[in-house]
Amino acid sequence: MNNPAEQIMAANKANMEAFEAAFKKAFTGAEKLVELNMAASKAIMSESFSHAKASMAVKTPQEFMTLQTGFVQPMAEKSTAYFQHVQSIATEGSADVTKQIEAKMAEAQKAFGASVEQLVKSAPAGSEAAVAAFQNALSNSQKAVESAQASIKKATEAAQSNFAVATKQTTDMVKKAAKAV
């Protein structure tokens, strides 16, 4: 496979397969979220009906307040567990996809570099200036891609960190609200 066109086509095929795998991972994460939401919805419905039935059997205001407190406090813990589960699904999925894409991008850059080297070796005499300009442009574009990848990675890490903070704040507020009841 010394033909640069064949090398580029092989790299493109490998990239397409990597993107397919990444999309499959993304759909797996979405399926996990749907399953989690369905399970949470069923549990909430069941607990709500049980609580409503218990509320109808209450005879004194004190019993009602005790029942309410007993209903709200576990909800705070369940909300915390739910948000942590959502975060773990999101983090797991994005980490796997990121690793796959980075690996395939590195392979593609390597294959493209080998193709360019082959083209440079077979360039006609007298085209050294054009070849040097092309190689410089290629080098600069690869640096730009690496910089963009680094920025995306930082943004992803920041988003995950912000999500973790928001989850903690939400669960803290739910716990405070539960204690106030």
Contacts of 23 (CB under 8 A, 6+ apart): none
Give the Cα-Cα-Cα angle 62, 42, 81 (nearest 5 degrees). 75
Mean pLDDT of the chain: 79
Contacts of 45 (CB under 8 A, 6+ apart): none
User: What's the burial of 112, exposed, middle or buried (CB within 10 Å: 0-12/13-18/19+)?
Assistant: middle
Residue 103: pLDDT over 70:
yes
Taking residue 121's Cβ as centre, other Cβ atoms within 10 Å add up to 9
Please give the residue that has the higher pLDDT: either 45 or 119.
Answer: 45
Alpha-carbon distance values, 93 to 25, 30, 33, 51, 120 (Å): 6, 9, 11, 36, 40
- Alpha carbons 59 and 73: distance in angstroms, whole number: 22
For the chain, the structural domain boundaries read: 4-180
The pTM is what? 0.54
**What is the rounded end-to-end Cα distance, in angstroms, of the chain?**
72
pLDDT above 70 coverage of the chain, percent: 90
Phi/psi at 59 (5° precision): -110, -25
pLDDT in tens, 10-31: 777 877 887 788 788 888 888 9
Phi/psi-derived region of residue 97, left when phi > 0, alpha when psi is between -120 and 50, beta in every other case: alpha
**Average pLDDT score over residue span 93-110:** 72
Most confident range (mean pLDDT) of 1-5, 61-65, 100-104, 132-136 is: 61-65
- Alpha carbons 137 and 36: distance in angstroms, whole number: 48
